[in-house]
Amino acid sequence: MNALQTAAATITAVATIAGAGVYAADTRYVTIAAQQQAELRQLKRDIKRLELKDQSGNATPEDRAFLEFLKREAEELTE
């Protein structure tokens, strides 16, 4: 194998490994982003449920405290 073939083989190997690494990182990012979006949707549902309970006058002090906690959690996820 001459020097040109060796260089070409090395470049091909490096590009293949780099491409696989980029694909894996991209797939992981998409998975994490989807998980965060699902968590945010659930938080919003829980927040709405507690807000409705509070508006109807049926919320306990614990419900109100938990509502504030959930709002902070949702805020952190959107930052």
Query: 77 or 64: which carries more pLDDT confidence?
Result: 64
Question: And the tokens for 38?
Answer: 């699902």
Instruction: Give me the residue spans of the domains in the chain.
Output: 3-78
HEC string of the chain?
CCHHHHHHHHHHHHHHHHHHHHHHHHHHHHHHHHHHHHHHHHHHHHHHHHHHHHHCCCCCHHHHHHHHHHHHHHHHHHC
Work out the mean pLDDT of the chain and round it to a whole number.
81
What's the distance, CA 12 to chain centroid? 33
Question: And the tokens for 46?
Answer: 């829980």
Give me the pLDDT at residue 58, please: 95
Give me the pLDDT at residue 16, please: 67
